[in-house]
Amino acid sequence: MPEPTTAPRIVLVGPPGAGKSTVAAALAERWQLGIRDTDTDVETVAGKPIAEIFVDDGEPHFRGLEHAAVARAIDEHDGVLALGGGAILDERTQAALATYAEHGGVVVFLDVTLTHAAPRVGFNQARPLLLGNPRAQWQALMEARRPIYERLATLTILTDHLRPADVAEHIETELAALRQAAVEDEA
DSSP calls for 155-166: EEEE-TT--HHH
Give pLDDT tens digits for 165-181: 999 999 999 999 988 88
Q: Are 110 and 170 in contact (CB under 8 A)?
A: no
User: To the nearest whole number, what is the mean pLDDT of the chain?
Assistant: 87
Domains of the chain: 10-186 (3.40.50.300)
How large is the C-alpha radius of gyration of the chain? Answer: 16
The pLDDT, as a whole number, for residue 9 is: 93
Residue type, 3: E
Burial of residue 87 (number of CB atoms within 10 Å: 0-12, 13-18, 19+):
buried
Nearest Cα neighbor of 17 from 138, 164, 167, 117 is: 117
Residue type, 94: Q
* pTM tops 0.85: yes
Nearest Cα neighbor of 111 from 40, 152, 159, 161 is: 159
Give one DSSP letter per residue of 61-74, joined into a string. HHHHHHHHHHHHHH
The mean per-residue pLDDT over the stretch 118-127 comes to: 58
Total Cβ atoms within 10 A of residue 171: 22
DSSP run (H or E) holding 144:
helix 134-152
**Percentage, residues of the chain above pLDDT 90:** 64
Q: What number of CA atoms fall less than 13 Å from residue 153's CA on the CB side? A: 20
- Rounded to the nearest angstrom, the gap between the alpha carbon of residue 52 and the centroid of all alpha carbons in its chain is 21
Residue 182: partners with Cβ closer than 8 Å, 6 or more residues away: 1, 2
- Per-residue pLDDT band at 121 (split at 50, 70, 90): low
> Higher-confidence residue: 160 or 4?
160
Residue 129: partners with Cβ closer than 8 Å, 6 or more residues away: 54, 59, 86, 137, 141
Burial of residue 50 (number of CB atoms within 10 Å: 0-12, 13-18, 19+):
buried
